[in-house]
Chain A
Amino acid sequence: MEERTVSYISEACSGKVLYGLGSEAVKGIATDSRSVQTGDLFIAIKGPKFDAHDFVDQAREKGAACLMVDTLEVGKELSGIPLIQVRETRAALGELAMCYRRDFDIPIIAVVGSNGKTTTKDLIAALLGGKFSVTSSPESFNNDIGVPLSLLQLRSSHEVVVMEIGSNKPGELKPLVEMIHPQWGVLTNIGREHLEFFKDLKGVAEEEGGLAELLPGDGKFFVPGDDEWACRIADRTEAEVIKVGLHSGNDWIISDIKNYPEGGSFHLQGPFPVFVGEYCIGLLGEHQAQNAALGIAVGAEMGMTPMEIREGLTSFRGPRMRMEREIINGVVFLNDSYNANADSVSAALKTLGNYPCKGRRVAVLGDMAELGDSTNSAHREAGRLTAELGIDRIVTVGQMAGIMGDAARSAGLTDVEEFSSAEKAGHAVCQAMWSW
């Protein structure tokens, strides 16, 4: 964050300066007292496990220049340091970020979708970083805390921003889009995510399409053109729509996808002849060709050259725990443990099924959460698909282990083992690594 005064911050979130003159400078933002640096504003947010109001003393000792609280009792104990009281600190963080973002005339690219947001966001940022000064959301900062914290990283020296926006429940996405005020949007896919709250794909599309509706008429919206729901969402935007996919109706057409142990390659045909050709990526899975092609389309529309894009693609590695390839004692682990839903499990199993392998292919699958009425059917599908893809062994973990295991057996897979917890499964896999 660039330096702002206590008054600026207070006015941005309709707060009251209880101590201090208002002219004091703030140089950064922290919501975790352990990460406070000298000159920071510490915002005390109540979470499900902790109330950060309990750590304001620690924040002050670490050099915080200002405190923001919503509990007056805490404020009364804290004289000698500028103190802003707001109605609710979590909301105030968003209001501050929204105000701060309006200080910058910088294009922002927002990435939404059911799967692959972080990988696609990081990939686009890496590609654009070859030509522009780029900032992007750290890790998977994509909710009402992560998005404002990402926005508050903005500096005048930045030329473009890439941010991801997530949603677990209906109505969460649009306020974050309004906060970011993006010019361009990227939709990765529409899949069966958080069905406990979205009910079905229509509900997912309704929510994720909030980005489309809020893009400006002179903006651009990149979508997977083979996805029926994505195309319906594209009808809801005034921005220029750019479609990427395998079918001939797309603006950018992917073909000849190949898989290698450390990544893949694909051919791309696009609206600019100079971009036609083969592209190599260090990401595993055919679905990553789609994400990479979305990134290439963004880079091309931003005026990058094919050489600049190829250099960025070749050196890019995905975020941790997303199909992260690790070799331990000669065994290749595809660590995709960050999260799971029915569609991302299906994509991961297909990647395993296609992965070059001299030994056995093993799927270690844990529960998928927030699936609502689809819980049983989605876990049965995962077990059945494991067998149908010719995976040699399945290790199932958690409350749904029995359902996945039974489905795999019913589909003809005999090497099935079930565990109640990841810890127990981990110890068993350690032992089994020497005997499989």
Chain B
Amino acid sequence: MPGDVVLVKGSRSSRMEQIVELIKQDDDEKKRTAPNTQGAAAST
């Protein structure tokens, strides 16, 4: 949730950086597929 603080930590071999990458990809995907409400409003 907005306002949370998340620490991601682990040895190199644990590949914890994947977690941050997955979260970024997920966020990008959500932004990409979100309905463009501003565009819809402009067409009416």
A residues near B, CB below 8 A?
321, 326, 328-341, 344-345, 348-349, 351-352, 355, 357-370, 397-398, 422-423, 425-427, 429-430, 433-436
Within 8 A of A (CB), among B5-29: 5-24, 26-27
Cross-chain pairs A/B with CB under 8 angstroms, 15 sampled: A331-B1, A335-B8, A337-B8, A337-B17, A337-B19, A355-B5, A357-B4, A359-B5, A362-B5, A365-B9, A423-B18, A433-B26, A434-B1, A435-B1, A436-B4
Bound-state CA distance A68–B21 (Å) is 38
The answer to whether A429 and B6 have CB atoms under 8 Å apart is yes
Measured between C-beta atoms, what is the minimum distance from B21 to chain A in Å? 8
The answer to whether B6 and A426 have CB atoms under 8 Å apart is no
Measured between C-beta atoms, what is the minimum distance from B22 to chain A in Å? 3
Among candidates A328, A367, A369, A427, residue contacting B24 with C-beta atoms closer than 8 Å: A328
Among candidates A326, A344, A397, residue contacting B16 with C-beta atoms closer than 8 Å: A397
B4, B8, B16, B30: residue with the most chain A Cβ atoms closer than 10 Å: B8
The answer to whether A422 and B15 have CB atoms under 8 Å apart is yes
Bound-state CA distance A329–B9 (Å) is 20
Q: Which residues of B contact A331 (CB under 8 A)?
A: 1-6
Measured between C-beta atoms, what is the minimum distance from B8 to chain A in Å? 5
Q: Which residues of B contact A363 (CB under 8 A)?
A: 6-7, 9
Q: Which residues of A contact B16 (CB under 8 A)?
A: 337, 364, 366, 397, 422
Bound-state CA distance A355–B6 (Å) is 10
- Given A337-B10, A363-B9, A367-B13: A426 in contact with B3 (beta carbons within 8 A): no
Q: Which residues of B contact A368 (CB under 8 A)?
A: 10-11
Q: Which residues of B contact A360 (CB under 8 A)?
A: 1, 3-5
B residues near A, CB below 8 A?
1-24, 26-27, 30
The answer to whether A329 and B2 have CB atoms under 8 Å apart is yes
The answer to whether B13 and A369 have CB atoms under 8 Å apart is yes
Bound-state CA distance A333–B2 (Å) is 11
- Given A335-B20, A361-B4, A434-B1: A345 in contact with B14 (beta carbons within 8 A): no
The answer to whether B1 and A335 have CB atoms under 8 Å apart is no
Among candidates B4, B7, B10, B22, residue contacting A359 with C-beta atoms closer than 8 Å: B4
Q: Residue of B at shortest CB range from A370?
A: B11
The answer to whether B9 and A337 have CB atoms under 8 Å apart is yes
Measured between C-beta atoms, what is the minimum distance from B2 to chain A in Å? 3
The answer to whether A361 and B11 have CB atoms under 8 Å apart is no
- Given A331-B1, A339-B12, A360-B1: A422 in contact with B7 (beta carbons within 8 A): no
B12, B13, B20, B22: residue with the most chain A Cβ atoms closer than 10 Å: B20
